[in-house]
Amino acid sequence: MLKPHSYRGKLIVVEGIDGSGKSTQIDLLYKWLQTQGKSVYFSEWNSSPLVKSTTKMGKKQKMFTPTTFSLMQATDFADRWENQILPMLKAGVIVLADRYAFTAFARDVARGVDPEWVRNLYSFAPQPDLAFYFRVPVEIAVERILSGRAELKYYEAGMDLGLSDSKTTSFRLFQQRIIAQYDEMINEFGFVTIDGTDVVQNQQKLVRQIVRKNLLGWEGMPNPNLPLPPKRRPARKTAPQKEGGEA
Amino acid sequence: MTKAQFYGGGFPYRTMTDMPGKLIVLEGTDSVGRSTQIGLLRKWLEDEGFAVADTGLNRSPLTQVGLDQAKEGHTLGRQTMSLFYAADFADRLENLIIPALKAGFFVLSDRYFYSIIARDIVRGADPAWARKVYGFALKPDLTLYLRADVPTLVARMVYGRGFNYWESGMDIRCADNLYDSFCIYQSRLIEQFEFLAKEYNFVTIDANRPIEPVFADLKSQISALIEQDKTT
């Protein structure tokens, strides 16, 4: 486990290999939470404007080693943490993160960096309130990815590892290693494992159930743009008040 | 001979053996005269017939442009800056320092990760965290610490490039003006260097003196290292 946080907001993250369906699920969750009147903020892996040009150049010119790749991704995360995630959590917002430190723990270790070392890099990041792990067999993920896009990218396919000359084979082998790392982290970080082969709607139903339960009794920052819920009659002082109910 | 020894886990995906070159680090706060001395040392070593490579902070072709841009804006946070510099350092270590050492070069490093962690710690980083980030760092053959007091540094700034934002630690506003902030910031760095000097076995050289006697001391330290290598 990472260190627990005591911010007013909630941090919910999704993890899983490429093609596991996690982005679809977090998008549905984001929209649902908004319709519930929650203040929600979304942050995506590898999206810091400060780091973007460096990562882009490094990838294009194949300049990365496992260590520099890991450090640049950590820099990207740190920037999003300092400028986006942390202030949002302090303000009482639900932050949804598409990938979190666990992505680095899985991928960078699959690339060969020291597991202890990469865990230290991210030790400023707290344990999320919920970490969903979308688990799919590698074949299904590969099929989803390959049917959906023109070509695999160099680092995405783990070509830097020299596992195979074929991008597809390399991708498969690399993702298999990442799955092995994720599986080992299920207990270490208390992942909620979701069967990523199930139909989208069923997965979302389960995700919402778990999120609703986690948010019971919690009050973050209300969304000022939505009309306030109808006023309830004030409860009598002696009557036990029902906690939450509607998430 | 530079031993394949690291401060932590090193690069587990690389097979590392001892390298025929030498890694010599010059450390010290801003404007202690490191680059002047490195220029003199390079000439001296090349006159002696050694091949020399030099490197310094923020010279990585991977990170330099991005890091400079980030420093010009006003969104670069402390944690982000730490890790950006770590990426710069790792890139130069893997792609410049280690290959040069393998080729038998003398590598003169204008600062090492010690300066980076001193700056991180002065900015509030957890000292244990900062040290562990550099678990991949190679142990140098020799670290020469040019130590100068704040009045010396001030005089050098006045007669050199003048006071600037970063060297005065204005990002953490040690004071409401460049001069006072410079003095406070540099004295905090010197304080960190004192700890680092003990921990990492720096050879401390008094850099309050003029260029020539400082250079003579550096030369004699490096000569001793070369002699020692001949006998082993």
| φ, ψ of residue B22 in degrees (nearest 5) | -140, 135
Q: What is the pLDDT of residue A147?
A: 86
Edge to edge, the sheet with strand B52-56 lists: B52-56, B106-110, B22-27, B142-147, B203-206
- Report CA torsion sign: B182, B183, B188, B194: positive
Q: Which of A69, A72, A75, A79 to mutate to test the interface with B (most CBs of B within 10 A)?
A: A75
Measured distance CA(B150)–CA(B158) in Å, rounded = 12
Q: Please indicate whether, in this complex, the C-beta atoms of B62 and A64 are within 8 angstroms of each other.
A: yes
Q: Please indicate whether, in this complex, the C-beta atoms of B77 and A65 are within 8 angstroms of each other.
A: no
Q: What is the pLDDT of residue A244?
A: 43
Q: What is the pLDDT of residue A146?
A: 86
Could you report how far apart the first and last alpha carbons of chain B are, in Å? Answer: 10
Measured distance CA(B166)–CA(B172) in Å, rounded = 9
Distances from the Cα of B57 to the Cα of A38, A169, A193, angstroms:
45, 39, 43
Element (H, E) at B144: strand B142-147
Confidence of residue B36 (pLDDT cuts 50, 70, 90): very high
Across the interface, of B70, B78, B82, the residue whose CB is closest to A50 is B70
* pLDDT tens per residue, range B80-110: 999 999 999 999 999 999 999 999 999 999 9
Q: Please indicate whether, in this complex, the C-beta atoms of A78 and B87 are within 8 angstroms of each other.
A: no
Q: Please indicate whether, in this complex, the C-beta atoms of A75 and B87 are within 8 angstroms of each other.
A: yes
| Structure token digits, residue B101 | 């050492």
Q: What is the pLDDT of residue A243?
A: 44
> Average of pLDDT values for B3-15?
96
Across the interface, of A65, A116, A123, the residue whose CB is closest to B9 is A116
Measured distance CA(B205)–CA(B155) in Å, rounded = 19
Look at residues A110, A80, A82, A83 and name the one whose alpha carbon lies nearest to residue A97.
Answer: A80
Tell the burial category of A245 from Cβ atoms under 10 Å away from its Cβ (0-12, 13-18, 19+): exposed
Inform me whether the pLDDT recorded for B162 exceeds 80.
yes
Cβ atoms of B45 and B52 within 8 Å: the answer is yes
Q: What is the pLDDT of residue A246?
A: 42
Look at residues B91, B166, B125, B131 and name the one whose alpha carbon lies nearest to residue A82.
Answer: B125
| Structure token digits, residue B4 | 């394949």
- Find chain B residues with C-beta within 8 A of A71's C-beta: 83, 86-87, 90
Look at residues A152, A126, A145, A151 and name the one whose alpha carbon lies nearest to residue A16.
Answer: A145
Inform me whether the pLDDT recorded for B25 exceeds 70.
yes
A118 interfacial to chain B (CB closer than 8 Å): no
Confidence of residue B231 (pLDDT cuts 50, 70, 90): confident
User: What size, in residues, is chain B?
Assistant: 232
Across the interface, of A54, A66, A83, the residue whose CB is closest to B77 is A83
| Structure token digits, residue A190 | 């208390």
Dihedral (C-alpha) A204, A207, A209, A214: value to the nearest 10 degrees?
Answer: -150
| Structure token digits, residue B65 | 């442009």
3-state secondary structure of A183: helix
Task: Spell out the domain ranges in chain B.
Answer: 23-221
B63 interfacial to chain A (CB closer than 8 Å): yes
Q: Please indicate whether, in this complex, the C-beta atoms of A54 and B66 are within 8 angstroms of each other.
A: yes
Dihedral (C-alpha) A50, A64, A86, A92: value to the nearest 10 degrees?
Answer: 100
Look at residues A238, A240, A233, A221 and name the one whose alpha carbon lies nearest to residue A33.
Answer: A221
Residue B109 forms beta bridges with which residues? B25, B55
3-state secondary structure of B187: helix
Q: What is the pLDDT of residue A227?
A: 62
Residue A222 forms beta bridges with which residues? A38
Beta-carbon neighbour count of residue A214 at 10 Å? 16
Tell the burial category of B43 from Cβ atoms under 10 Å away from its Cβ (0-12, 13-18, 19+): exposed
Task: Spell out the domain ranges in chain A.
Answer: 10-215
Q: Which CATH number fits domain A10-215: 3.30.360.10, 3.40.1190.20, 3.40.50.300, 2.60.40.10?
A: 3.40.50.300
Q: Which CATH number fits domain B23-221: 3.10.20.30, 1.10.760.10, 3.40.50.300, 3.40.50.1370?
A: 3.40.50.300
Tokens 């993890």 locate to: A15
> Average of pLDDT values for B205-224?
98
Question: CB neighbours of A230 closer than 8 A, spacing ≥ 6?
Answer: none
pLDDT tens digit at each of 247 positions of chain A: 899 999 999 999 999 999 999 999 999 999 999 999 999 999 999 999 999 999 999 999 999 999 999 999 999 999 999 999 999 999 999 999 999 999 999 999 999 999 999 999 999 999 999 999 999 999 999 899 888 776 889 999 999 999 999 999 999 999 999 999 999 999 999 999 999 999 999 999 999 999 999 999 999 998 887 666 666 665 555 544 444 444 4
B7 interfacial to chain A (CB closer than 8 Å): no
Tokens 């019971």 locate to: A216
| Structure token digits, residue B68 | 């400079």
Tell the burial category of B131 from Cβ atoms under 10 Å away from its Cβ (0-12, 13-18, 19+): buried
- Find chain B residues with C-beta within 8 A of A74's C-beta: 83
A78 interfacial to chain B (CB closer than 8 Å): yes
**Eight-state DSSP code of residue B11:** -
